[in-house]
Amino acid sequence: LYGSRISIINNGVRMQEQEWGIEHAPNIDVNNFQHIDVIKGASALRYGSDAIGGVVVLEPEIFPKKDTLKGSVNLSGISNGRGLGIDVNVAKIWENGWAVKSGGSIRKLGDQSAKGYNLKNTGSDFSSFNFTVQKNNYKNGFSFDYYLTNQNLGILRDSHVSTPRDYYEAMNAPVPFYSGNFSYEIDNPRQLIEHHLAKISAFNRFENIGKVSATYSFQYNHRQEFDLRRGVLSEVPSLDLALMTHQFNINDLLEREKWSLETGLDASFQNNYSDPATQARRLIPNYDKYSAGIYSVFKYKITPELSAEAGIRYDYNFYDVTKWYDKSDWENLYADAYPEFYVRTNANRILTRPKLKYHNLSYNAGLEYHPSSHFNLKFNYAKVGRTPNIAELFSDGLHHSAAIIEKGNMSIKNEEGHQFNLLADAKLEVLQGLEVSVNPYFFVTKNFINQIPNGTLQLTQAGTFPVWIYQQIDAKMYGLDVDLRLNMTDNFSYKGRGSYVHGQDETNDEPLILMMPVNFSNSLQFNKKEWNGLYLNVENQIFADQKRYPVHNLEFTDYVAGEEVTTVVDISTPPKTYSLWNVQAGIDLAKNFSAGLTVNNVFNTNYRDYMNRMRLFANDMGRNFILNLRYKF
């Protein structure tokens, strides 16, 4: 599960952006965080009920209580894209708990390349800034945090073509039509994204009610997407979305010797404005969203070896939307079911004011058995619910970065399902220690929100694109993740990972689309602290071809040599199996100065990733050297 079924928590704040696209990377700078955790089970309910696939929590550094000035400077060189990046962070800390930290990053990349050709217009610019001031001790504390990111991202030129015949030929060309020469220029089609996050939080510990914390945050996300337009419109975005989000959370954590109880309340308001100055059909409409949630998580230690947890959460979501429909779409799809949403008619367009309410109740229960330091067993059951996002309900137009036309469905209901998860961890006395983790899982759902191609290509002023629609189905998934770590000697260790997932559309009796194929990774690492912290890691990744996939090919009719021809465009068949080799190495050059070198795709293998929509038009990125020089003070 991915996309909007995964929540990202940035220093205690849930990221709110135009996250409905699976290819949209979050607007964060990973250099701001000390560690990244993935949370599942009852504890995940604190962050919302819709994170069916889990919660990714990004945690910043916890400052020591001493007078010090510390920081780091990191310089990066990237061969594929001929890029350069610099990251700087500085923190002043006082023994009394005060701390001030600031930093920023700049990265510039030109066109990336696959083996044998340039991937035109895939350059990127990235910059970020962060600032924190806080005062903390065990009893109480407060913090103010601010994060800013700016991105200018090129979109592969070959994904935007003129006619259905051009689309077919671009997919089947051995070399992209527009490969050209390397350039740092980022032309249309492209994306501009600006994201601000400001947060103020405080906590206080009370003897009888525990640790009470409160957080208010504000986020502003401005996304512009530019397509291939002519004349003065070439500098006017065809998608211009401004999203403002206010969030408030109050949380109480009461801990005792054998149990803990965490209870909290969330409230948020969100406003999205889609600028009509684009003179293009608005992919996402104007809307206000009101949300509130209440949750409670209880953990109890039954015996020294056995513990239990249970959680429950209720969420209310309300959309107030202003949307234009084509008259034919409104009359065919919604006029009879939702007459109260009609506002007025303007030529062949219908203005509507949908107001939709959603209620979700989620709950979770689990057991953990830990008889010794060598074995741990966890079982978790969850009844999950997810409110459809705005794109699933109302999208209507060209999604440039995905190179598809999306059609939402206002009749979509809550997505609900049942999850069963088992995790077994064992430590065995093999050589110098073998750690094994086995995680089988099962997920069955009604009203699963699924996006599929509807079999047509649509010609627009920006080019020709396949149409993808949203539907609700009954579905089930089951899979297995296995992780291994073997310490062979004091200096050599092995890591292995394997993953398999089986997804089935029960309604249409076919495999689920875009399921991750079977994949494995194996790595061998050498560490020698006595040699200035030298380490060397060699990794192999294998991604099998996905044998289970639905067939939703496209079809168009045109004239070739004066004759009418119907052509089938195969967008369904997954890429072939591929294997990638990667190498990482590092060494301490001085007391506070280190160097690291990473080589991805060492043998410059041609491959295409099934989960990447751009795979239809070009191979993925070729060999890439990344050199990092880091100085700490």
Q: State which H helix or E strand residue 439 sits in.
A: strand 434-460
The two three-digit tokens of residue 274, written as one number: 């889609």
Q: Determine contact, residues 581/600, Cβ cutoff 8 Å.
A: no
SS3 state at 616: helix
199: CB partners within 8 A, 6+ apart: 11, 12, 13, 143, 144, 145, 146, 215, 216, 217, 218
Q: Using one digit for the tens of pLDDT, what is the confidence trace for 299-322?
A: 999 999 999 999 999 999 999 999
Lowest mean pLDDT among 46-55, 159-168, 420-429: 46-55
Exposure string for 323-337, b = 16+ CB within 10 A, e = fewer: bbbeeeebeebbbee
Other CB atoms within 10 A of residue 313 CB: 25
pLDDT band at 20 (very low <50, low <70, confident <90, very high): low
Pairing, β 404-407 against β 463-487: parallel
- The residue type found at 249 is N
Asked whether residue 22 carries a pLDDT value surpassing 90, the answer given is: no
Of the CA atoms within 13 Å of residue 624, those in its CB half-sphere come to 20
| 112 Cβ contact list (under 8 Å, min separation 6) | 80, 81, 119, 122, 123, 621
Mean pLDDT of the chain: 95
501 closest CA partner among 475, 527, 481, 471: 481
pLDDT at 19: 66
As given in the structure block, the two tokens for residue 90 are 């500085």
* Span 225-256, pLDDT tens digits: 999 888 888 899 999 999 999 999 999 999 99
The confidence band for 261, taking pLDDT boundaries of 50, 70 and 90, is very high
* Residue linked to tokens 């504000």: 218
Return d(Cα 62, Cα 8) in angstroms, integer: 19
- pLDDT reported for residue 21: 60
Main-chain phi, psi angles of 163, to 5 degrees: -120, 165
Q: pLDDT tens digit string along 408-447?
A: 999 999 999 999 999 999 999 999 999 999 999 999 999 9
Q: What is the pLDDT of residue 469?
A: 97
Side chain identity, residue 548: R
Phi, psi of 282 (to 5 degrees): -80, 115
State residue 40's pLDDT score. 84
Q: Place 224 in a pLDDT band, splitting at 50, 70 and 90.
A: very high
Sorted by where each starts, the structural domains of the chain and their CATH numbers stand as 64-632 (2.40.170.20)
Contact 397, 405 (CB under 8 A): yes
Interatomic CA distance for residues 542 and 539, integer angstroms: 10
**For residues 49-60, average pLDDT:** 88
**Dihedral of the CA atoms 190, 191, 192, 198 (nearest 10)?**
-160
What is the signed CA dihedral for 25, 26, 30, 34, rounded to 10 degrees? -130
Nearest to 611 by CA among 541, 549, 520, 521: 549
